[in-house]
Structures are given as structure tokens and as C-alpha cells.
Amino acid sequence: MQERILQFGEGNFLRGFVDYFINGLNEKANFDTSVILVQPLAQGMCEIINAQGGKYTTILRGKQNGELVEEITKNTAVSRCINPYAEFDAFLEIANKPELQFVISNTTEAGIAFDDSCKIDDMPAVSFPGKVTQFLYARYKAFNGAKDKGLIFIACELIDFNGRALKKCVMQYIDLWNLEDGFKAWVENACTFASSLVDRIVTGFPRGEEVAWKERLGYEDKLMVTAEYFHLWVIEGMNDKKDLLPLDKYGYNVVFTDDIVPYKKRKVRILNGAHTMSVMAAHLCGLETVKEMMDDEIMGKYVRKGIFEEVIPTIDGLSKAELEDFAGSVMERFENPYIRHRLLDICLNSTAKYKERVLPSLLGAIENGTPSKILTFSLAALVMFYKTDKANDMPAALEFMKGATTKEVLANAEMWGQDLTKVDGLLEAVEGYIADCAERPIREVIAELVEA
């Protein structure tokens, strides 16, 4: 197969997400494409990947349309892995491949960052954007700036507008290294930097299940990747080139768009918001995992009612059907028996999470005059949770939350971006829920909320 994709990142996520798609296109559409992996750090997985010839097994497990599903795939899309710290020349030689079209990356949230200590003659530049600039410069020179040899970048890092951030860093390196104007114009006009939103829980190597899987598969695989069945990939900025990667035409939940913002809002408010508005209340009810929460009659209703009746009406930019369909998939993902997601792990740094994920929905519901009982109670649950010894946050946040009154918590404009005591009726409602929970079991209070 033709090596048409260069991928920065050889870890579980990309192999269980992007490379799963490419392997599927090869099988369904004769896509005839293989992926060269690049190890972004000096230490990584190249040796073991090459030892297995790039081949590995992807195991998808989850719930779909109310049924448990499982899919086992032998992935043959990866051709090889290169460690640029040990094989810098081999890394740059890939730039000479005329068939190369895509560069895909997931180098963690900290990966797309400008480091002015990087130099053009480093072997390689320490930063990921520095390596990208070195690679692009080699390709520019190899093909004398031919416009049809530009590359399409699809960034998957978990930061807003990741493609734009990568391009900005590349342009900074071009200026720092005093590279010629012709190269800068080629990057600007011949290359595409697409931003993307990725969504799939990839649980990685199934530790503790190795023996069982070896017996079931009939072979040993040190690179097995387990993941949930659900996936979503939203790509902004390559609509005119989307036919080069026709995933949306072959059954994959891939959306090409010119505006990623509504999809980002949907994910943050519904998926992440459902976690943050519920996990602290669920923990206070004595539950331990997300699945236990969903299986619990009271808390399961709490999550569903909060999302479908209170959160969804506050989200614009997408149709109600699109929002409800996504929310339905979220409920099934939370019920996945193959993923043990501890509530206390999700509770980490909940003050910052609440501000981003839940507060906009709560304020939107109050402003719209729509129901907000579940969302308001979630704020009360946060205040109560931070009075326990299970809260885990920045030291300053922990100290403040533990010692502050409810009124002082809501009045903290630095924490919430505004003084929430000025929101009509909110302080009284939160204080009322906390007082109610002090007099009787929290489950009774929540049960009345979900049945109202």
C-alpha cells in the first residue's frame, strides 16, 4: 500500500481511532493507504511496533441501540514506525515521497507549543511544531515548492482550534529561523491545517486480560488496543479536500464542517457536562462508578432528566434531533460494562470543570426560563462534596471551598467568572437544597427532583 499518511503519535489513542478508520477504508473502499508512525518523544513504542510489522488487534466493546456489541479487527494499516531521535535522516526522507498527502497528530495538549530554543539544524527539533517545520522545509526543497505537493494536517490534540494553533507555531519557526519567503508562501497556500474534535474512549492494552485474549485470538499481541464502540471525528477546514479521506461515505461517524464550534459546545455541555453535573451527587449517594450511577434508578433518571430537559434546550447551532441523538449515545457510553470509570477520578478539579461544562447550561436555563432544578442541585452537590475529604483540586480551591459559606462560594467571581449571588433566586435555591440534604438522606432529595 502507498504510504500516504504520516502520523505523529504512536500511542493507544491514534491506533484505536484514526488508524482503525484507515484500516477500515482499505478494506471497504480499497483506499490503498498505509500509515507511517513517528514517535514524538525520544522514548516510545517504535521498537515493539516494528517488531510486529506494524500489525495489531483492535477490540471494540460497548453498547449500541440497547445491545452489547463487540468488534475485533486485525489492523494492517501501519507500515512502520520511525524514531526521529535515532533516525533523523530517515524521518526527513519521508518528505521526498510524492504520494504523501496527510499528516495527523496527537502529541498531547502540551504538544502544540512554540519553543524558541529549537534550531533548524537540530536532529530533531525538540518541539513537535519544530519537527513539522523541519519536515515541511525538506519537502519544499525536494519538490521545488510545487503547490500540488503541499500536505493536509489534521490535528487531534485536545485544545481548541488545534490545527490553527499548529500552523501558528510553524509560522513562528519560519520567522525565527529566517527561512525564505517562498517557503512561507508555500506553507500558507499549498498546505492545509485542519482543526478537529475527537471523541472515543480508548482504554488501551487490556491488562489483566492478556491470557484470555491470547487464547481467544490464537496469538500473542503486545499491541492490542481496546476501545469503546462509539466514535466521532469532526474536522474543520478541509471541505474542499474531504473526498481525499472519504470516511463519511463508508459508515464512519465523521463530520466535515466549516464550523467546529457547535460540535465542541455539544460535546462539552452534554458529554462532559453530564459527568460533572452528576458525579459528585452520585458519590454523595454512595456510588463508585459511572455505570453504577447509570444503573441506579434515581441517579440514572437524574442524569437523563438533566441532559434532555435542562441542558439540550440551552444549546444552539445544531438541531434538537442532532443533540438528542448525541445525548442518547452518551447515555449508552456511560452504561458500557467494559469501562470502569471511577466517579472520584472524574471529580478531579471540579470547580474549573463546572465553570466550563455546566455553568453555561445552568445560566442559560435560568435566562430562558426553562427548568433548571437538576442543574441547580448539581451546584449544591458541588458545594457539599467540597466539604468532604474526597475533593481533589488545586490547593487554593480546596482551602477556599472547605472553609467558605455557600454565599461566599457563589460570590467568588474569580472562580466562576461572575458573582453568582446576583443571579436571581440561585443562592436561595442552592442553600435550600443543602439545608434539605442536611435534614434527610440526599437520595430522598434527588428522588423528589427526578419525579417532579
Specify the pLDDT at position 239: 86
Grid cell in block for residue 27: 478494506
Specify the pLDDT at position 370: 86
* 227 pLDDT above the threshold of 90: yes
pLDDT digits (tens, 9 = 90+) for 92-134: 999 999 999 999 999 987 899 999 999 999 999 999 999 999 9
* 272 pLDDT above the threshold of 90: yes
Specify the pLDDT at position 452: 79
Specify the pLDDT at position 34: 98
* 353 pLDDT above the threshold of 90: yes
Domains of the chain: 2-259 (3.40.50.720), 262-451 (1.10.1040.10)
Specify the pLDDT at position 102: 98
Grid cell in block for residue 190: 499549498
Report pTM: 0.93
Specify the pLDDT at position 407: 98
Looking at residue 445, the DSSP 8-state letter turns out to be H
Nearest of 135, 144, 80 to residue 102 by alpha carbon = 135
Cα 252 from Cα 86, distance rounded (Å):
36
pLDDT digits (tens, 9 = 90+) for 145-165: 999 999 999 999 999 999 999
* Predicted confidence band of residue 264 (pLDDT cuts 50, 70, 90): very high
Report DSSP letters for 92-159, one per residue: HHGGG-TT--EEEE---TTTS---TT--TTSSS-SSHHHHHHHHHHHHHHHTTT-GGG--EEEE-SSS
Specify the pLDDT at position 207: 92
